[in-house]
Structures are given as C-alpha cells and as structure tokens.
Structure 1
Amino acid sequence: MTTIVFLHAHPDDEASGSAGTMRLAADAGHRVVCVYATHGDHGTVPTDLREGESVIQRRRSEAEASALVLGTARVGWLGYADSGMTGWEQNSHEQSFHAADLEEAARRLAQILDEEGAGVLVGYDWHGGYGHPDHVKVHHVAHRAAELAARRPRLLENTMNRDHMRRMVQAATEAGLVPEGQDWDPDGPADDGNPMGTPEAEIHWHVDVREVLEAKRAALAAHASQEDVGWMLGMPTEQFAAIFGDEWYIEPGREPGLRAAHPLL
C-alpha cells in the first residue's frame, strides 16, 4: 500500500477527471490525498449562499463532501486564486496560480508530499487537457514538486484520450444524437488553441471506472453549486457512463503502449 497525492487545479476537477481512479485506489487500501491548487473562486457563484458565506467557503465545503464520497483521507490546498480562462485579466493577478512563482508553488506541494511520504503523485498532461492556465500550471508544479520531494514519487499525468473522444463523437453523430449546429471537434482548438487531450498512442494507462461510477456521480453532485456539474449530472445514465466511465493517464518515461489497468492496483 502507498500514499497517492492527486493535484487538481480547482474543486470539482477531481470529480470529473480522476474520481474513479481515486475511489478504486482507496477501496484497495491505498491512502488517497487530494490537493487543490486554487480555491476555484471564479467558478459559478451559488444563488443560495448563506449570509456571510463566500464562494471560496462553499467550494471548500463541497471539496470535503466529495472527499467523503471518494474515500479521500486528506484534502490539501496550495492557497492560490483561480486564474480564469486563457486571456482573462485574472491570469496576471498577483495571487493567481498562473502567475505564481513555480519554485514556491512546487515547494508548497513538495511539503505535502514529504508529510505524507507519498509514493505516487498525479498531475496533468503538458497542456492540462484543454489549455486552462491553471491546468497547465498543475503540470509544471507537479513535475517540479516531484523533483523537490525528499522521496521522489512515481509521477502520472491525468489526461483525456483524443482518439476515444473522436470515436464517441462519430458514433453519436451516426446515431443522430448530436443536435444540428452543436457538433464538437476534439481536434479543434481548445482554450489554448491546441486540440483536446492526448493522442491514444501517447497514453499508458486506461482505467475503466464503471464499477464505481455511482461514486463518481456522487462526487460530482457534491459540487452542485457549479453550472457545469448540472449538465453532467443531467446526462442519461448510458451517456454518462460513455463519457465518464474511462480515465486516462500518461506515465512519463514509460515505454509506449496503452495498458487497460489501474496503474496502482
């Protein structure tokens, strides 16, 4: 058994990106730690905020609720502000994660890695899946923190399988499930102008998480204040399983070849 630290950019990123992998690891007896780089303060502002409650407080409480669902043993925070999407003025805010000093941010994460004696660290691929500035920064901070940690952890990168997405879009289009004018191209430019995710040939691990899909759905529901979560949870069961039933990881330095297995089990 080992300790696995997942670094995510914002509260709710764990639910959509790696929740199944986290729950399977926790069920197998591993210690799972989830660290958020930002408070997610530029997410949807809930309409039901209580008097004196801030967006940051709500999103922190939602992260704790998600952790209970996933069996996460510890929730940590690097303490940075949400940087917003590419080109937003928040990108350059002095407290934003995007503008943060790389060494300082990496030291904050490395401290948690050392406290936990982490054997595995999970970050994001080189452009954070779709180019969000905070996601891109997660990639760099994770790599540098792994170098700074007293015990260098095994490093994995959470990603999306571009070829898998293309196949799903094609199947949905052929089945007449894509409304006219709402077609979506995973090869088209994402937030930073690059295509979504990673080509399948560059991915090492495919984790089928359908056996814990209800936990993944519950983790998403824990972040109910966020608008994106609403449409995810509104998907029919079969569609939700098709989109969220698979999780993908790159392992830097590993020989090419996709393996259908949990990288930690």
Structure 2
Amino acid sequence: MSTLVCFHAHPDDEAISTGGAMARAAAEGHRVVLVVATDGAHGEVPDDLADGETLVDRRKQETDGSVAALGAHRVVFLGYTDSGMTGWDQNSDPDCFFQAELADAAERLAVILREENADVLTAYDWHGNYGHPDHIKVHEVGHAAVDLLISEGRGIRLFEATMNRDRVVTMMQQAMEMGVTPPQDGADGEAFDPAGPADDGNPFGMLEAELTLEIDVSGFVAQKRAAIACHRSQISDQSFFLEMPEEAFTAMFGIESYIERGVEPPMRPGWLFA
C-alpha cells in the first residue's frame, strides 16, 4: 500500500477539495495524511463558542471530525496563522502563512513527507483555485517541498487539486434548476459566477483543457458530505454544499479534478496511484 499526503490551506478545504480521494484511498487500504498550513483563525466566528474556546480550537476539533469521516489516519497543522483574504490587514502579519519564508515552509512540509515516506502529495493549482493568498502559498510550498525530496533521490508524485471550471458552470446550472440556491460571492449578495473574476481577478479553477486527471469518487460522496458537515462553524446546514439534493451533490462532487506535475493534458480518467 502507498501513502497519500493532502496539503491544504485551512480547516475545511480538505473536505471540499480532496475529500473523495482521501476517502477512496483510505478505503483501499492506503495511508492518508492531512497537512493543514494554517489555523483558520480568520474564518467566520460562530456564536456558540464556549467560555475560553477560540475559533482556532473549534476549527481543529472540526478537522478531527472531518478526518475521521474520511477515514484518514493523521492530521498535522504546519503551524502558521491564517493570512485572511487578499488585501486584508492580516496579510502583513509576520506569523501568517503568506509571509512565511518559502524555504522554511517547504522544509516543514518535507519533514512530514519524509516521516511518512509519502508516495503522493496533493497541493493546489497555480492560483489556488480562486486566488486566496494561503492557497497560492500551498501551491508554491508543495512544489518546493517536492523539489527537496527529489533532490534527495526520493520518488514522489505531485497532483494539483483544482476545480474543472467548465464542469462547475454546468453543474451549478443544473443544481439551480433543481431549486438549489447558488453560493453567494462576497458581501454584495450576488450569485457566485465561476467564470467571473475570483479573489485574484482570474476565473475560478482551471479550464478542462488544462487538466490531466479526473477521478471518480462518486462511491464516496457520503463520506465527503459528512466531512463537509463537520465544519459547521464555516458551513451551515443551509449552505450550497449541504442543502442540495443527493443527486445534485453527487453530480457536482463525485468527480475530482487534478493536474499532475510533469504530465501534459488532455484530461484522462484515472487514479492517484495508477
């Protein structure tokens, strides 16, 4: 059996982005490890925090629940503070992930990859799906860590988790036709447009023509949905993710899209360990 390490920016990203692959890998007997770059300190603050409980405490607890739902074996927080969205004052916090020295962050991740003798690492595409500073940093750090391991003679494959923009546009339209309320884009209350400018001014995700791998995780959408539901401080029961009918959820989240480092398009159906 092999070891899969999934590297994500914040608590909850793992469930939405690579949750299906994590659940499938665990079910097949592979070791699955989640590495979270930041503490998620600048997410939504719920109104039911207990006395002395912080948002960071809650989000770590939620991540433990998500990992259990997916069947993963270990979760590691890399130790950085959430950087906030593009342009926020928190971007300049010297302890935030966005400000981290690339070499330092890459070595922190590489330590885990060595400990686990990882065969596969997932990170994000070049703009982190939607331009969030921490997501972009995950892309950079993931590649730098793999460079370190390759320089040591270790074999490891890197897959950039992304969203198939063409498919998301189609699936969102179908979901809305089924009566599902589309997600909102920021504070203006407008419906999210995958083809419109995201946090960095670029459209959401990547075009299908830019992808190399499509993974069928339709048999694991129940685990994926359960993992998403664990992150209740950030994702309510009335959210786009959880209110859609099972059929719509499976159609949208039963396929995961990746770009394998060193592999050229077109996109092919397959698996991380094939």
| Alignment TM class, shorter chain as reference | over 0.9
Aligned identity (percent) is 53
Structure 1 residue 260 and structure 2 residue 269: aligned? yes
Letter in 1 for 2:137: K
How far apart are the structure 2 equivalents of 1:128 and 1:12?
Answer: 15
Letter in 2 for 1:164: R
Equivalent of 1:197, from 172, 182, 205? 205
SS of 1:155's partner is strand
SS of 2:85's partner is coil
Over 3 Å counting, the alpha-carbon distance change for 1:56 and 1:169 in structure 2 is closer
- Check whether the contact 1:169–1:184 (CA below 8 A) recurs between aligned residues: no
Match runs of 1:76-155 below 5 Å? 76-149=76-149, 150=152, 151-155=154-158
Q: Which runs of 5+ in 1 are unaligned?
A: none
- Structure 1 equivalent of residue 46 of structure 2: 46
How far apart are the structure 1 equivalents of 2:2 and 2:108?
Answer: 21
Cα shift at 1:227: 3.8
How far apart are the structure 1 equivalents of 2:163 and 2:50?
Answer: 36
- Structure 1 equivalent of residue 168 of structure 2: 165
TM-score by length of 2: 0.90
TM-score by length of 1: 0.93
Letter in 2 for 1:134: D
Equivalent of 2:252, from 237, 243, 248? 243
Letter in 1 for 2:31: R
SS of 2:97's partner is coil
SS of 1:48's partner is coil
- Structure 2 equivalent of residue 225 of structure 1: 233
Equivalent residues, number: 264
Letter in 2 for 1:207: I
Structure 1, 49-58 or 132-141: larger mean CA deviation: 49-58
Superposed CA RMSD in Å reads 2.0
Equivalent of 2:220, from 191, 200, 212? 212
Structure 1, 195-204 or 241-250: larger mean CA deviation: 241-250
SS of 1:196's partner is coil
Over 3 Å counting, the alpha-carbon distance change for 1:49 and 1:184 in structure 2 is closer
- Check whether the contact 2:180–2:243 (CA below 8 A) recurs between aligned residues: no
